[in-house]
Amino acid sequence: MVNLWNKDVEKKFFNESLAFATPEQLFYVTDDNRYLAYWPKGYPSEKNTLQSRNSLIGSFTEKWTTDLLQEVVKDKGLFAVQGAICEELALTGKSRADVVISKNKNIRQKPEDILTIFEVKMSVVWNWEFRNDGSGINLTCIGDYKTHEGNPGLLRSDSMLKAAGKSINIKVSNFKASKIPIIVMGNTPITNSYYSKVDHLKISGIVQGFWSVNPKPLDNNGENIKKTEKLGFYRFEKFDELRNSIESLLSEDWNFFSSMRSNKELGQIIELANREKTYEKKGEVFLRLINE
């Protein structure tokens, strides 16, 4: 039984990090000397911005996602690889893929071996209070993301834009990228101003999905979106549900294509492609012609 994102995972993040980082690097310190993961809504005094937690939560969530995906593909002879490099797909040492599913487990990858690219955009979602009263580390959840000032994960508009931008950068890097689906993995919902946009990104073939692997991001049965109309966004509630979606992603032979053509040109291309015998062949010829 594999669990998706939940409060225990965040607790684990703080517990692991406290082994080598100071509480001051992981928490805000309030006026009355409380150690909190986020400023509570309406905190009255002067606030500062914590920076030292950023890279820690970044690498923790990427590792956590890699392990989760590894569970999905391990019995298929495939591998989840963290920080993959593939120059042909604009995935360089400076701008790696967070996680890829591949036929091999090397950091350096060939486009032909990569089956899916995952961009991880996750944060600490809940607010936490840390205490160390001598008897050891004590972490208490003091509220969901509606109770603190933070705007975690995919709820930030610029995170959405960055994820979309990186996907486009990969898709236009090389025609070999057109066969590889790209998924943005988050642990929060998205704002309603992005509902129709994620569907358009999916339909136009740029991002195959914004997936949240946090089944219950809000306490007290708070309302939160399950999916958008065209499944551009989807919130997973069980590991098996995630496994099924990834399996169907891996089972098809995908193609991304984009172009600006006149109706006349398109008609000519379709006519030529239609002379082929099978649907697969028609598709192949269509794609070859549209890329010429």
Site residues for DNA per CB under 7 A: 28, 38-39, 47-55, 57-58, 61, 85, 92-95, 98, 119-124, 149-153, 155-162, 166, 191-194
Handedness of CA 2, 62, 161, 50 (dihedral sign): positive
Taking the complex as a whole, the smallest distance from the CB of residue 150 to DNA amounts, in Å, to 4
Taking the complex as a whole, the smallest distance from the CB of residue 85 to DNA amounts, in Å, to 6
Cβ proximity to DNA, 166 vs 235, nearer residue: 166
Tell me the CB-side half-sphere exposure of residue 34, using CA atoms within 13 A. 13
Taking the complex as a whole, the smallest distance from the CB of residue 261 to DNA amounts, in Å, to 28
State the burial class of residue 284 (Cβ atoms within 10 Å of its Cβ: 0-12, 13-18, 19+). Answer: middle
Instruction: Residue 213: name the closest of 181, 237, 229 by CA.
Output: 237
Q: Do 201 and 172 meet the contact criterion of CB atoms below 8 Å apart?
A: no
* Residue 162, C-beta contacts closer than 8 angstroms, at least 6 positions apart: 121
Cβ proximity to DNA, 192 vs 278, nearer residue: 192
Taking the complex as a whole, the smallest distance from the CB of residue 152 to DNA amounts, in Å, to 5
Cβ proximity to DNA, 149 vs 219, nearer residue: 149
Taking the complex as a whole, the smallest distance from the CB of residue 237 to DNA amounts, in Å, to 22
Cα gap 230→76, rounded to integer Å: 28
* Residue 278, C-beta contacts closer than 8 angstroms, at least 6 positions apart: none
Taking the complex as a whole, the smallest distance from the CB of residue 178 to DNA amounts, in Å, to 20
Q: Which helix (H) or strand (E) holds 179?
A: none
Cβ proximity to DNA, 233 vs 286, nearer residue: 233
Cβ proximity to DNA, 9 vs 85, nearer residue: 85
Cβ proximity to DNA, 64 vs 286, nearer residue: 64
Instruction: Residue 143: name the closest of 210, 203, 220 by CA.
Output: 220
3-class state of residue 232 by DSSP: coil
